[in-house]
Amino acid sequence: MERIVKVYGSSVFQYSITAGLPELRQYIANRYNRRFGLHLTTDNILITTGSQQALDLIAKVLLDARDGVIVEKPTYLAAIQAFSLQQPVFYPVELSEDGLNTEQLEKALDHNVKFMYTIPDFQNPTGLTYSAQNRKRIYEILKDREIVLIEDDPYGELRFDGEHLPYIGAGRLPYSILLGTFSKTVTPGMRTGFIISENTELLKHISIAKEASDLHTNIFSQYLIWDYLTHHDLDAHIAKIKALYQKQAQAMMDAMDAYFPEGVQYTRPHGGMFLWVTLPEGISAMSLFPKALEKKVAFVPGDPFYIDMQNVNTMRLNYTNADCETIREGIRRLGEILKEI
């Protein structure tokens, strides 16, 4: 903080441009060009107040009431919240270990769909990742359609097992939007995310909506993150995060192997922050929540991750915010509850 005030002076306290700090946008463009073979400039980057604002702005720009939106089933609950304000019609598509159900996707596209929202890497809430074959098939389905594909990628850098997979549409589809954030790699409290699109016309309309919403993202935070990125090795920092998360994820899966009863299934993520538990049919995760709280264990019931489903038999667990000993004890207590049902 002292350095950016000394170097940049009053600029860090004044109004700025809606698109965001040019140096930070150039850093993002360079990083994605290098890592993913894209061809971005600063004109392809819009800084947002976290990825959450990006979802809100995209919905405002693209949706009228009763327009169709394709989402995963289940999907990120805050995306449902952001899109719902525009009163769209949701078309959920089942998610499996391999990725989206492409037969359901093709049927959903028969409707008046404006955009499709996906989280292909370490999906929130399930922790699942689309396979290379599934991504290719989705691309083939979308390539000749005038539909916006949103690939939300807050967790992609957090892969701790296996190889990185290419994006579905970024750099390939004409109506492609890629969302990123520094919340999972630098710090969440700065609320600094970004929209990437090679469709500068589409990005221009989103920028106009942002200008009306908040003028620009906190410029002090943008300078802080930019200064951090220029004085520290981000890749080395991410490597430390990944090593820690891999250890914690393994601790959680090992504990579930040991303490969960038969009939309880769970995903085995290769990165990210979450895994997804599926209980036997007829058991509501929501009904278990107060029992878990009595034992000082919290989880997120699956209900809010679906469009129109209640008392579902799924739950989301996060392994990134507790040490391995605490994780094992929490899973042991949760296992005791599950054995009683």
pLDDT digits (tens, 9 = 90+) for 93-114: 999 999 999 999 999 999 999 9
pLDDT digits (tens, 9 = 90+) for 145-155: 999 999 999 99
Q: Is 277 exposed, middle or buried (0-12, 13-18, 19+ CB in 10 A)?
A: buried
The confidence band for 137, taking pLDDT boundaries of 50, 70 and 90, is very high
CB 117 within 8 Å of CB 69: yes
pLDDT confidence of residue 172: 95
The confidence band for 6, taking pLDDT boundaries of 50, 70 and 90, is very high
The confidence band for 90, taking pLDDT boundaries of 50, 70 and 90, is very high
